[in-house]
Amino acid sequence: MIRILAPAKLNLGLEILGRRSDGYHEIRTIFCAVSLFDQISVERSSADQVACLPPVAVPENLVTVALRKAREALPELPHARVTITKRIPAAAGLGGASSDAAATLSSLRYLTSGPIDGCQIAEVAANCGSDVPFFLHSGIAVGAGRGEQIRPLPFMPIHAVIITPRIDIPDKTRAMYSQIGENDWTDGSQVVALAERLVRHELTRPDGYLPNAFRRPLYDLFPVIGALATEIEMDLGCSVQVTGAGPSLFVLCSSAAESLSVRHRLSARIDQNRAQLHAVRSVSRPLIAESPDV
Query: Active-site positions?
Result: 9, 131
Which candidate, 96, 109, 112, 111, places its Cα nearest to that of 63? 96
Strands (E), 127-248: 140-144, 149-153, 159-165, 241-242
Q: What one-character-per-residue DSSP string does 143-168 give? A: EETTTTEEEEE-----EEEEEEE---
Half-sphere exposure of 24 (CA within 13 A, CB side): 11
First-to-last alpha carbon distance for the chain, in angstroms, is 26
**Other beta carbons less than 10 A from residue 261's beta carbon:** 14
Q: What one-character-per-residue DSSP string does 8-30 give? A: EEEEEEEEEEEE-TTSPEEEEEE
Half-sphere exposure of 251 (CA within 13 A, CB side): 30
